[in-house]
Amino acid sequence: MTLVDAADLPPEDSRLRVFWRRYRRNRAAVLGLILLGAVILMALVAGIYEPVDPLRRAGDPLARPFVDWATPLGTDQLGRDILAGILHGARISLMIGVVATSISITIGVAVGACAGYFGGWVDDVLMRVTEAFQTIPNFVLLLALVAILGSQIENIVLAIGIVSWTAPARLARAEFMSLRNREFVEAARNLGVGDASLIFREILPNALPPVVVYASVIMALAILLESALAFLGLGDPNYASWGNMIGQGRAVLRDSFYVALIPGLAIIFTVLSFSLLGEGLNEVLNPRQKKG
Amino acid sequence: MPFLIYALRRALQAVPVIILIMIGTFLLLKLAPGDTVDALVGDMGGADAEFIARLRAEYGLDQPVWVQLWRYMVKFASFDFGWSFVYEQPVAEVLLDRIGTTLMLMIASLFFAFTLGVALGAIAARKAYSLTDNLISTLGLVFYATPSFFLSLMMIVLFAVHLGWLPVAGIKTIAAFYTGWEHYVDVALHLVMPTAALSLIYLAFYLRLMRSSVLEVAELDYVRTARAKGAGEGRLMFHHIMRNALLPVVTLLGLQFSTLLGGSVVVESVFSLPGLGNLAYKSVIQRDMNTLLGIIFLSSVVVMTVNFLTDLLYARLDSRIELA
């Protein structure tokens, strides 16, 4: 075992450094971090590479990749620069991943915390609602919500949050149930601390690690859901989106399949980075869960 | 007898969830812009206000919300989902026409994902941390990250456009009028790519779960005992480890079914299969709310049935579960 013993560490080591030391032991997780860094970099340079509009005509339609340096990855059938779309698409994907995950985790933790902390009929009612949401196929519900709310990007993000909160809710509930009668909570309760304060200040910080790990899964899921919506032409038409680019590429699949291939690889790498990141976080934050 | 009582109790637990889903779809219908009468009037090309008011009264849309909800639930409970203004048919009939294709795709995908995932997961665990294991595990991660629509398109490029082995779209060759065996072969060929596209992500799930499950079970005492008694590695795997390692995978089978149904929307649309998923997509484009909500309800019922069946299967497989 190469477990770092707390006593062996110099005392001035910050928690962040301990965290990093444990994290980098998993090489796949480090690769995930590098991939994610690349995606973030893509999102950052998007404005420098194409400051005006990634959806504008940049050259002749269907120019092949690696031929003309004005459009390094080629153009689609409307002459739009694929590289510009990829870079700006990274922005949209990351934005959707982060915001939708925050919404989903907020709803999930709120529901799970109430169900796990109060128990009894509150738990019964909230768990039936969670089951109902789990039963409805999430992509079909997403379609219905987008049909009702409209395809603006804010509504899509909100809808993705609404269809993906059930797993964090179950996680948070399990954590709250196991923590609510622990000694430190009892102690605080006996000191006269109120319910709200017990939930947010005592239990929540201890219940969060598994939920944080799961956030990377939701992030990946949110990006996949948005790209599927955009692929079907139900995304926000005002923004460059990888899914939408693949949908456009479908029309010219026969002769120019690179139009669909390049954004597809971008999605795969991004989702892969979140999966690897999640595994690394899981090993650091929930060390008891997995030995192998 | 305890098994029957368990089944009955488990079925009763589904009732509140079904009621909640009905209330949910009713809320969605109320949130959607326009109601049945708007759709009817739009269909007729306009009508005067008095006629519209009479229609509203006829459809009960002037009643209090609670009365409407009650009527809505009674109708849904008897699988009456209203009228589809796009297909000019009762929604229930439209759904019934298409559910067969979807179920066929589901079953084929689940079977493929389950068998291959379990087999690969067991092999990976058997050779844990070897090159084979790394290869299989990496493959699993990539499968998980690949969107089904992207995979579909790339398969179309390779197998339909360049190699010409498989048909691009549809459920059968329309102009061929095949009968008997030729018909079945034709349908099966049309389903190869959709099944592969839909099952890959679930294959990744099963693979990963099976791998960790086998690793966990292989450390248990009874496995060591069996090995000490001289059981061969093959017998150990199939007879001793697999049986217990499969339990969590069976649970996942039920849990993932609703996601699988959701995934069929994209795959059916890409391959233009006449199933529920494709219908859901078209209903959104054509604003056919009655059909869309009917699909939500019907697919929820299918998911609950599958969950119920996996629970029963699980209770049968795992004798540690107390039925009472």
Alpha helices in chain B (DSSP H): 2-31, 36-44, 49-58, 65-77, 91-126, 131-145, 148-155, 180-218, 221-228, 233-235, 242-255, 257-270, 276-285, 289-317
Inter-chain CB proximity A143 and B33 less than 8 Å? no
Residue A292, pLDDT score: 38
Give the number of beta-carbon pairs within 8 Å between A and B. 146
Q: Which residues contact A37 (CB under 8 A, 6 or more apart)?
A: none
Please report, for residues A120, B118, B228, B321, the alpha-carbon distance to residue B210 in angstroms, rounded to integers and kept in the order given: 35, 6, 24, 21
The tens digit of pLDDT for each residue in B140-198 reads: 888 888 998 999 888 888 888 778 787 777 777 766 667 777 777 777 778 888 999 99
Distance CA A246, CA A229 (A): 11
Residues 187-216 on B with a CB inside 8 Å of A are 212, 215
State yes or no: pLDDT of A215 exceeds 80: yes
Smallest CA–CA distance from B212 into chain A, residue: A292
The tens digit of pLDDT for each residue in B114-136 reads: 999 999 998 888 887 888 888 88
Evaluate whether B227 touches B234 at the Cβ level (below 8 Å).
no
Distance CA A237, CA B137 (A): 37
Instruction: Tell me the nearest-neighbour CA distance from B226 into chain A, angstroms.
Output: 23
Mean pLDDT of chain B: 83
Inter-chain CB proximity B144 and A275 less than 8 Å? yes
All residues of chain B having their beta carbon less than 8 Å from the beta carbon of residue A130 are: none
Residue A98, pLDDT score: 93
The interface pTM score, or ipTM, of the predicted complex is 0.85
Instruction: Tell me the nearest-neighbour CA distance from A135 into chain B, angstroms.
Output: 5
- Domains and their CATH numbers in chain A: 22-289 (1.10.3720.10)
Instruction: Specify the DSSP element, H or E, that contains B90.
Output: strand B89-90
In one-letter notation, the amino acid at residue B56 is R
The tens digit of pLDDT for each residue in A170-202 reads: 989 988 888 888 888 888 888 888 888 888 888
In one-letter notation, the amino acid at residue B71 is R
Q: Report chain A's C-alpha Rg in angstroms.
A: 23
Distance CA B310, CA B319 (A): 15
Of B153, B215, B259, Cβ closest to residue A138: B259
Distance CA B307, CA B324 (A): 19
SS3 state of residue A57: strand
Inter-chain CB proximity B262 and A275 less than 8 Å? no
Residue A12, pLDDT score: 57
A162 pLDDT band, cuts 50/70/90, is very high
Q: Which residue has the higher pLDDT, B78 or B302?
A: B302
Residues 21-60 on B with a CB inside 8 Å of A are 21, 24, 28, 31-33
Distance CA B292, CA B268 (A): 15
Q: Following DSSP, what letter does each residue of A84-107 receive, concatenated?
A: HHHHHHHHHHHHHHHHHHHHHHHH
Q: Which residue has the higher pLDDT, A279 or B117?
A: B117
All residues of chain A having their beta carbon less than 8 Å from the beta carbon of residue B142 are: 268, 272
Of A137, A234, A260, Cβ closest to residue B262: A137
Residue A156, pLDDT score: 93
Inter-chain CB proximity A253 and B307 less than 8 Å? no
Residue A11, pLDDT score: 54
